[in-house]
Structure formats: C-alpha cells, structure tokens
C-alpha cells in the first residue's frame, strides 16, 4: 500500500506538469505565456499497475502576476482501485505552485528561458481509508526548468528535489521532453505536436529509481483550446514485481477562458 | 450705370463668399477624414516561438486604444495592427506592452498603408 502512496507522490508532480502553457505534455515548460489571466485545465491520468488502477482527474487554475511570475492551485479527484480491495475515491491533497522566471534570451522565432518552480502539497485529503486518498505528508518541491523553443522544435528539461514528511521518501525528479510540430506554424494556431520524452523519479531514502518513456500528441485547435493525449511506459522500475506499473494513459484539455 | 456696377460687385462678392465657404467646408471634411484615418504599426517581436504563446500578446495589443486589424506573421516574426492616426502609442509604450506579454520588441515601423492585405477582418 505504501507503493500506492509513492505512486501518488509521483502523480502529483506529473499532474502539475499540465501547467505547461503549450508543449510539452509530460515535462514542465519555462514559458509563462499564453495565459495572461486565467484558464481551466484538466489532465486526466489512468495509471495501470500490477496491483491496482488509479485515476486522477485534476482541475488547475493558474494565474499570471506580470510576465515573469505565475501562481496557481490544483484540485484533484482521485480514484484508487486496488486488486481485491474496495475502491476508494475522493478529493486529493491540495497543491499550490509558484513559478518565477530567472532568465530569458530571445531571438527571431526562438527563445531560451529558465524558471524556478515551487510546488507545495498540503495534506488535506482524507487518510482514514484503505487505500488512502491523501498522502498525509507535507511535500515541497523546488525545481529548475529550462527550455529552448524554436518554430521547428522545442527541447525542455526539469530537475527538482521533493522534500516530504511523515516517513515518505524524498525524491529527485528529472524530466526531458522533445516537441516536434507536425504542421506548418501559423496564427491563429491549428497545430499537431508530437511529444516524446522521459520522466524520472529517484527516491533518495530507498535508492529506488523509476523512469518512464513518454509519447503523446497535442492538437491545438485555436488560440484558446488544446487537446492532448499520451502514453507512458516504464523502462526502469526498481520495485517489486507486484507493484510495477504497466502503463499510464493521459488525456486532457487546456482551455483559456479569460 | 453706377447701380449696375454696384449690382455686379455684390454678385461677385456673394459668389466669392460662396466659394470660400465651400472650400472651408471641404477643408473641414478633409480634416474629419484625417481624424478617422488609420496608422499601421508593425512590431518585430523576438521570442515568439510558438503560435499558442502569441495569444497573450494579441490580448495585450487589443487593449490599446482604437487598435484593430491585428495579425501575427509567426514565421516572419512580426505582428501588425492599426490605430487611429491621432492615437498612436509611443514607441516606449509599445515596447513596454510587448515586454509585459513576455516578448521583446526588436524594431517598430509605422505606415499609413497596411503591411499586409487583411483577409479575415
């Protein structure tokens, strides 16, 4: 069951990557553009494991304070369905996040940006069920996110450290993403983007490493609406066989309202 | 004879007044037309690397008083829009607007003609 909690920790940070304001799907972006206000974003994740299935449906509300700072919160509905045990559902731990741009270098049709990102998880979800919906742990993650984006491709990287309480293992996250547009760039956008990458988690206290290979596709239908879906499969997973992940299927939308 | 000359003078005077008034009205009309005329602004924007990101810039530009005819040439790296000729923002204000949207304004041009035929306006 602890593994389910650890899966929850991992999903927290995969889920927050939905705040990318464009590509990529599974890695954070340093580009704090495209919102200039508020929007609602969803990014459902169906996680198939050997001993359980987990469904996470978040709604994120980001808000830009100027062009270099963004804050936001994430509400999540979580359903955990372990093999042989009754499924449990509920509202997950509350997440707040803040991003601050540290560096920006622009050219014609290209940009390099670097941001710092802080994710704060509050243990607000219920923990009196089996399996538990909440992590019962305060978690703070500080990460650096860099990206080099041109009209022809986007290359993104993220590395961060997640501090946890209540005897949960701390972890280092490391993500890489590559985005390739399949259609000519134009404005207003009507774009298909191919996404590939890796998503890694190294649990420092237990020396356990997990790396998922990620692939997905985005369809940007207009200035304000984006659909995306992707599949992640483990290529390194240092856990007992019964706890292994089969795949993670994701699908979501990003809709800018204001 | 004297009365006849006087009558002609009055007629000429009236005619001149009419012509002068007409010219003045014409000038007024021209002035009105000029007040409604547009100036087109073209901004070369660095950092505009994804079409999805340019939406924030569009929203900022559309907040400029009397702005219209907005379009983005993403592959060429510029945006263009129009404003009323008597409401042209300063170059400093335009650069600030672009910066607030998260980009860098490298060069600004103005013209009394559109920079590109506008199809979807």
The whole-number mean pLDDT for each consecutive block of 10 residues of chain B, a chain of 121 residues, reads: 65 64 49 66 94 86 94 93 95 95 94 74 43
Q: What is the pLDDT of residue B19?
A: 60
Q: Is A223 within 8 Å of B52 when comparing Cβ atoms?
A: yes
State the nearest Cα–Cα gap between A76 and chain B, in angstroms.
26
- Contact (CB, 8 A) for A26 and A214: yes
A38 and chain B: CB distance < 8 Å anywhere? no
Six token digits for residue A61: 């509300």
CB-based contact, A66 to chain B, within 8 Å: yes
Cα dihedral B107, B112, B116, B121 sign: positive
Which residue numbers in chain A have pLDDT < 70? 1-23, 34-38, 258
Q: Which pLDDT does position B17 carry in this prediction?
A: 63
pTM of the prediction? 0.82
Q: Is B88 on the interface with A (CB under 8 A)?
A: no
- Residue B99 touches chain A, beta carbons under 8 Å: yes
**Disruptive mutation site among A25, A30, A33 for chain B (greatest number of B CBs within 10 Å):** A33
pLDDT of residue A148: 96
**Residue A220 contacts B where some CB pair is shorter than 8 Å:** yes
Is A195 an 8 Å CB contact of chain B?
no
**Model pLDDT, residue B119:** 54
How many other β-carbons are positioned within 10 Å of the β-carbon of residue B87?
12
pLDDT at A11: 47
> How many Å lie between the alpha carbon of A112 and the closest alpha carbon of chain B?
8
How many residue contacts between A and B have a Cβ separation below 8 Å?
90
pLDDT at residue A6, as a whole number = 52
Rounded to an integer, what distance in angstroms lies between the CA atom of residue B61 and that of residue B85? 16
Q: What is the pLDDT of residue B24?
A: 53
Q: Residue A159 in contact with residue A143, Cβ under 8 Å?
A: yes
CA dist B57 and A140 (Å) reads 33
For residue A21, the SS3 value is coil
Residues 36-75 of B with CB under 8 A from A: 44, 46-56, 58-60, 71-75
Measured between CB atoms, does A253 come within 8 Å of chain B?
no
Name A85's Cβ contacts closer than 8 Å, sequence gap at least 6.
A130, A131
**Edge to edge, what strands does the sheet with B68-73 contain?**
B68-73, B78-84, B38-46, B104-111
pLDDT of residue A17: 42
Say if A240 is an interface residue toward chain B (CB within 8 Å). no
| Residue pLDDT, tens place only, A135-189 | 999 999 999 999 999 999 999 999 999 999 998 899 999 999 999 999 988 888 8
- Is A67 close to B102, i.e. CB distance below 8 A? yes
**Nearest chain B residue to A21, by CA:** B53
The Cα A161–Cα A140 span in angstroms is 8
Residue A38 is predicted with a pLDDT of: 60
Helix, strand, coil shares, percent, chain B, to 5: 50, 25, 25
Residue A14 pLDDT: 44
Q: Which residues of A touch B50 (CB under 8 A)?
A: 22-23, 31, 33-34, 149, 151, 154, 185
Residue A183, min C-alpha distance to chain B (Å): 12
């Amino acid at each position: 069951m602890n593994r389910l909690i650890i899966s929850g920790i991992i999903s927290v940070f995969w889920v927050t990557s939905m705040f990318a304001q464009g590509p990529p799907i599974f890695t954070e972006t340093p580009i704090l553009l495209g919102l200039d206000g508020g929007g609602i974003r969803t990014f459902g994740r169906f996680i198939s494991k050997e001993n359980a299935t987990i469904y996470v449906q978040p709604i994120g509300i980001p808000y830009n304070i100027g062009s270099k700072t963004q804050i936001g919160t994430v509400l999540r509905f979580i359903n955990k369905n372990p093999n042989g045990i009754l499924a449990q559902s509920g509202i997950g731990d509350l997440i707040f996040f803040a991003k601050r741009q540290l560096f920006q270098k622009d050219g014609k049709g290209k940009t390099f940006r670097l941001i710092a990102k802080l994710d704060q998880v509050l243990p607000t979800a219920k923990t009196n069920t089996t399996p538990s919906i909440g992590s019962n742990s305060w978690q703070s993650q500080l990460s650096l996110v860099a990206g080099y984006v041109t009209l022809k491709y986007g290359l993104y990287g993220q590395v961060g450290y997640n501090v946890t309480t209540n005897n949960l293992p701390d972890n280092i996250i490391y993500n890489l993403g590559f985005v390739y547009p399949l259609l000519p760039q134009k404005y207003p956008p009507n774009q298909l983007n191919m996404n590939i990458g890796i998503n890694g988690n190294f649990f420092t206290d237990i020396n356990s490493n997990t790396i998922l290979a990620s692939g997905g596709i985005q369809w940007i239908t207009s200035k304000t609406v984006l659909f995306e879906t992707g599949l992640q499969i483990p290529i390194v997973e240092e856990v007992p066989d019964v706890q292994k992940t089969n795949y993670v299927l994701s699908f979501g939308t990003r809709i800018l309202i204001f | 004879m004297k009365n006849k000359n006087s009558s002609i003078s009055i007629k000429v005077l009236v005619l001149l007044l009419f012509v002068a008034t007409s010219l003045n009205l014409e000038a007024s009309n021209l002035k009105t037309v000029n007040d409604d005329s547009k100036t087109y602004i073209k901004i070369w924007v660095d950092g505009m690397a994804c079409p999805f990101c340019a939406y924030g810039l569009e929203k900022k530009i559309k907040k400029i008083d009397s702005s219209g005819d907005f379009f983005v040439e993403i592959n060429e790296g510029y945006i263009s829009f129009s404003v009323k000729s008597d409401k042209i923002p300063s170059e400093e204000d335009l650069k600030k607007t672009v910066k607030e949207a998260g980009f860098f304004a490298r060069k600004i041009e103005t013209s009394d003609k559109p920079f590109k035929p506008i199809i979807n306006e």
